[in-house]
Amino acid sequence: MTGATHILAAAALYQRGGLKTPYLFVFAFLSHFLLDAVPHFDMELQWNYIPVACAGAYLLIVGKWQGDYKVLIAGLLGALPDIFLVLQPGSNFSVFHNLFHFKKLYPVSKTLLTAEMAFLIICVITLLYKKHRVLK
């Protein structure tokens, strides 16, 4: 998955999760492994920088608009496993990460990238709605 997809999916989960914040942060982090398990077209790292910057800027706008910058933390938690992977390739965490990652045993169609972009757009739209409030 692209970094932007991880970030926006985790943020959307936080936004609409309906649980208390600490649980939502845990699920935002765990969402990374679930998304990586889905067959997908992986882009080269350098193609991720601009979409990730755009996702971060979008979450800044959403956070300011809704008065809740924790949506940024959730987004970061969604990308954190890949950040570790880039910073410490070959570490135990990288091995753990790769256990969950989709195994590319055949040529992956770029159609999957289109499906991922559709999912990403759904996340962007989901983030336009006010945060789901937890009932006490």
Give the integer Cα–Cα distance in Å for 52 and 107. Answer: 25
CB of 3 to Zn ion, least distance (A): 9
Kindly state the smallest distance separating residue 108's Cβ from Zn ion, in Å.
Answer: 15
Q: How far is the CB of 70 from Zn ion (least distance, A)?
A: 22
* Residue type at 92 in one-letter notation: N
Contact 124, 58 (CB under 8 A): yes
Tell me whether residue 3 or residue 17 sits nearer to Zn ion (CB atom). Answer: 3
Q: Which residues bind Zn ion (CB under 5 A)?
A: 36, 82
State which residue, 45 or 53, has the beta carbon closest to Zn ion: 45
Torsion of CA 9, 12, 16, 19, to 10 degrees: 70
Which C-beta is closer to Zn ion: that of 82 or that of 116? Answer: 82
Number of other residues whose CB lies within 10 A of the CB of residue 127 = 23
